[in-house]
Amino acid sequence: MTKAAIRRSINRLARELGFDRVGVAGPGPLERAGYLDEWLAHGRAGRMDYLHGQGEMRREPVRILPGARSVIVVTLNYNQSEPGPPDHRPRGRIARYAWGRDYHRVIKKRLWKLVDRLRTEVEEPFQARVCVDTAPIVERELAARAGVGWIGKNTMLLNRQLGSYFYLGEIITTLDLPPDEPAADHCGSCTNCLEACPTGALTEPYRMDASRCISYLTIELREDIPERLQPLMGVWVFGCDICQEVCPFNRKAPYTADPDLAARPPAPRPLLSELAAWTRKDYEAILRGSAVRRADLAMLHRNARIAAANLAP
């Protein structure tokens, strides 16, 4: 098969598996590796010490799979409307990406299916490594290089048709595929995301101080949340969508019909009284197969107490 024919097969198989966009990037050093080093050196990662490890792999994806010649990047839309109007009982909010089944499992399973099916169509033997966001790669940088979107002022990956409510997945492979052109930046003069961020985590366009981000505070920070930030967190108990909700590209973003991603309890708005009273048994039963398990039980209790205090008259 020619490179063009292999690429057509990849596009077709990806669509059959439910992915929305496909791009290809080279596995060489990232153009903004210096920015990552500076960001880490200035403590912008907060307590996420794991980001300091495996730096060479993060800067140069080819190190993850020796001999790699291409990175296939896919997107999977997770956008959906909230199911029904909420009642007037005090409720928290969960970020959209965690409403359905754990996306790590969903995407990895589909990407390996894509690899297996591609092997039946391509005579050339090849190696592959499947990655979702737990691998030591800088996903958004690779996705931008692959042309599936651009990194916006809120540091999210944006696509003109999909907005930003989509997951990313990657296949690092020894297949030699023609790379795509990077997408152009369409943020223009808009600063909605910077103005809307309640904690000031977006310090300037294209730069985030993760240690102030509500997503970091509710999901990654294992210790007490600084008191000065607690009143600014609203009712978010897992993640935050504010900088995406105000983005013009999400106003007409399509909804997904993927059953794996459909909202299930406790998403999207858990009762704060129930969440604060969860036992370990509740936690294990309710969050089985959910990305919300990224936060442990003590953290969810903490987040629920803060959200309830922010609703108090």
CA 281, distance to chain mean position in Å, is 28
How much is the pTM?
Answer: 0.92
Encoded tokens for 38: 């500076």
Contact call for residues 217 and 61 (beta carbons, < 8 A): no
* Helix, strand, coil distribution of the chain in percent, nearest 5: 40, 15, 45
Q: Residue 91: what pLDDT?
A: 96
- What's the CA gap between 38 and 11, in Å, rounded? 36
- What's the CA gap between 201 and 243, in Å, rounded? 10
Residues annotated catalytic, as ranges: 133
- What's the CA gap between 192 and 186, in Å, rounded? 14
Distances (CA, A) of 208 to 61, 186, 248: 23, 19, 19
Instruction: Summarize pLDDT for 242-256 with one digit per residue, the tens.
Output: 999 999 999 999 999
Which residues, in sequence order, are CB contacts of 235 under 8 Å at separation 6+? 90, 91, 92, 93, 272, 307, 310, 311
Query: Where in the chain are the domains?
Result: 3-82+97-173
- What's the CA gap between 284 and 5, in Å, rounded? 46
Percent over 90 (pLDDT), the chain: 80
Encoded tokens for 250: 């999400």
Worst-scoring range by mean pLDDT, 10-19, 111-120, 132-141?
132-141
- Average pLDDT of the residues of the chain: 92
